[in-house]
Amino acid sequence: MSSTSLLPYLDLAPGTPPILHAKSVGDPASWAAEHHDPLHALVLEHGSVLVRGLGLADPATTEAVFRRLAEGLMPDREPFAPRRRYADGVYSSTKWPPNQQMCMHHEISYGLEFPSVLLYACLEAPGSGGATALADASAVLRDLPRDLVSRFEREGWMLTRAYHEDIGASVEEAFGTGDREAVERYCRRHAIEFAWQSDGSLHTRQRRGAVLRHSDSGLPCWFNQIAFLNEWTMEPEVHEYLVEMYGADGLPFNTRFGDGDPIDVDVVRTINEVYDTHTVREPWQDGDLLLVDNIRTAHGREPFEGPREVLAALGNPVLRADGEVSGV
């Protein structure tokens, strides 16, 4: 079945992701299995697709749909904030203050292995706000200042982290173990520099490419978390408190140029302004399914009010290799 079979049910409108109107005839998992190929063809073409009408209402059904649409689900590695685990490879969305914007980023773009496809299901839509916003990473790359892109292409970007017990993800949450030797083995395998501090905390840093060429389309994409995990994206009072508590080098996370130079607030502002220019959104409805090409499309989360339950899965893991990716 080709993607053209779904075109009569596809809405393409400015300012929103593609919306596919579908009916599962009572069995969302069977519908997902039947439409696996055309759905992925739409994602490859457009960068994302929102499927409306499947009526996803519980974690078990959602997991079954995720597994029929992904070749494999990977664990959430090196998270910067905790998630609730529903099943192997199925999580809540990242716990982030509901009144704060979650800036655009690509999932686990700081890893040597990362998901190429993201799957989301809305079991309960919030009363207002809370959309999963999306932005075309190839268009963002094209519109960023050329001199800024050139520097990041030459140097890459650096993520620094400090793991504290009382804020952010703990060592055990990030690495799946609290055993120092196991953590050190993980860091060595994944090209992460590490240093244990006198108070027992762990500091790490890792340098990654900022631009990635899509393995299927060939499009170069702005693929990183430079703005999202930078200190200047924090609320000013939060930033001030954390610097006072842990020092400028002890922030739970921060980003730098690849040579270690700090990134100033103007760079972060510029990146976010370009993201804003290319952002599309569609308010969640109960039962919605969203598929996102994690390389082609950046995502974020808008502030919201009221309960919001969105499940997530990290699908089709790939390995980073010299600016390109290869399947695993």
User: What ranges do the domains of the chain cover?
Assistant: 3-124+281-323
How many alpha carbons lie under 13 Å from residue 69 in its C-beta half-sphere?
34
- pLDDT bin (cut points 50, 70, 90) of residue 81 is confident
pLDDT tens across 41-77, in order? 999 999 999 999 999 999 999 999 999 999 999 998 8
**Does the domain at residues 3-124+281-323 carry the CATH identifier 3.60.130.10?**
yes
Give this prediction's pTM.
Answer: 0.93
Instruction: Please name the residue ranges forming H helices in 95-145.
Output: 137-143
- Indicate whether 12 pLDDT > 80: yes
**CA 123/CA 125 separation, integer angstroms:** 7
**CA 224/CA 211 separation, integer angstroms:** 7
Structure-token match 């190929």, residue found: 37
Which pLDDT value is given to residue 248? 87
Which pLDDT value is given to residue 187? 97
Which pLDDT value is given to residue 327? 39
Report the percentage of the chain scoring pLDDT > 70. Answer: 96
Instruction: Please name the residue ranges forming H helices in the chain.
Output: 28-34, 36-46, 59-69, 137-143, 146-155, 171-175, 180-189, 236-246, 265-277
How many alpha carbons lie under 13 Å from residue 110 in its C-beta half-sphere?
30
